[in-house]
Amino acid sequence: MLNLLFWWGLILTIAAAIWHGSRWMAFKAQPFDCEDHGEPYQCREERAKNGRLTALLLSYKIPQRPRFCLRREGWFDMFGKATRLAVEPQAGDPRFDTRVYIDSSDRELIALLQTRADLRSALLNLMQRLKAQGARYGSLIGEDGYAHLYLIVAKARDADRLRGECAAWLAPFLQALRTLPVDLTIARSGPVARLDKPRLLGFALFSVGCCMAAWIALISPERLLDPWALFRFSLTPAAIATVLLLSWTVRSMAAVSNRHRALLEWLLLAPIGVVLCSFAAVRSINLHFDFVAPQAVAVSDASLHLSYRRRRGTIYSVAFRSDHPAIGGYNSMVIDADTYQRLNRAWQGDKRERATVLLHPGVLGFAWKEFLQ
């Protein structure tokens, strides 16, 4: 059980990290206060095992603003715009629009970038200066009253100097954000909020599917004669369900700048969850709906066994020999703890010369066995 909780917790952690998409979850060091060019800010550092500085996160205080992200435009952003999955607001400056991707739906922020050439030049000059110093601009994200500047500085020559230059180049942009009217702040609603519901559904499907798969693999007794045949059968309804859900997801997501990334997060989680849920559902239907009486098969040399595996814990099993073609020869079957105790009490020992196994045809045509006594 402890192993199950460990692996399930690990799966949930990875899924939550993918869904949340935070860029500074790896920062373990506590932030410390700095001030350069009259601009106070907080700094977080990420270091390698040898102590070398690899990344910086500089957080500047701003009023509560809508969420925005100004990042380097990558190939996936260009793909999203080319396929019309994403609709990026344009600043009207080709030099800026080809290098910086504006991920925001705030009209006031977009208008600020469109009308203030000095702000666009300051951001581009910052990127050039970082490149000249051996560092790389990651993103500038505004959320929860802070503007977070993420920098990759593994090859930078002087990280302390970089902090001061960033404060100087960002000062005009930060001051412009602080002068925006407070009553024009847009809450997280409308088109941006429409991305959350499909992503939450994808995360839920992934979580439920992994939970079911873990239960089947670690706790549930072994019953199916050919589990892989049932798994291949479950891929057909899983594919149909995935196509229907994908169609609904694309229609539900508004045409905003981050739709291509939200859709990618959905594709990383939902199809896996659909496949696992489909297998668990088909397996449950095949095992629990009996319309044909099972066939009683006599077996010999039946014996109970206990074993322990580090990942699965205590494993209860029964070994037996059968001449039936569907079972064939010497066979070992994993059973649950209750069945083990029942057989142990009935046999008054760990071995039985003669016993009976029920062979169920399965409502979907996939045979499964049940050890009777």
Residue carrying the six token digits 């703890």: 337
d(CA 356, CA 335): 15
State the pLDDT at residue 80.
86
Helix (H, G, I), strand (E, B) or coil at 86: coil
State the pLDDT at residue 237.
94
State the pLDDT at residue 192.
57
Task: Show pLDDT as tens, one digit a residue, over the chain (373 residues).
Answer: 445 555 666 666 565 655 555 454 456 678 888 888 888 888 888 888 787 888 888 899 888 766 788 988 888 888 888 888 888 888 888 999 999 999 888 888 888 889 999 999 989 998 988 888 888 898 898 887 888 999 888 887 777 788 888 888 888 888 888 887 654 444 444 555 577 788 888 888 888 888 888 888 777 777 787 889 999 999 999 999 999 999 988 888 877 888 888 888 888 888 989 999 999 999 999 888 877 888 887 777 777 877 777 666 777 877 777 777 777 677 777 777 777 787 777 777 666 667 777 788 888 888 887 776 6
Letter string b/e over residues 258-275, b meaning 16 or more CB atoms within 10 A of that residue's CB: bbbbbbebbeebbbbbbb
DSSP line for 290-314: --SPPEEEEEEEEEEEEEEETTTEE
State the pLDDT at residue 87.
85
Contacts of 179 (CB under 8 A, 6+ apart): none
Report the 10 Å Cβ neighbour count for 103. Answer: 21
State the pLDDT at residue 243.
94
Output the furthest CA–CA distance in the chain (Å, rounded). Answer: 90
State the pLDDT at residue 282.
93
d(CA 182, CA 314): 61
Residue 188's alpha-carbon distances to 65, 66, 86, 255, 347, in angstroms, are 10, 7, 18, 15, 65
Which candidate, 154, 152, 145, places its Cα nearest to that of 68? Answer: 145
Report the 10 Å Cβ neighbour count for 175. Answer: 12
The pTM is what?
0.72
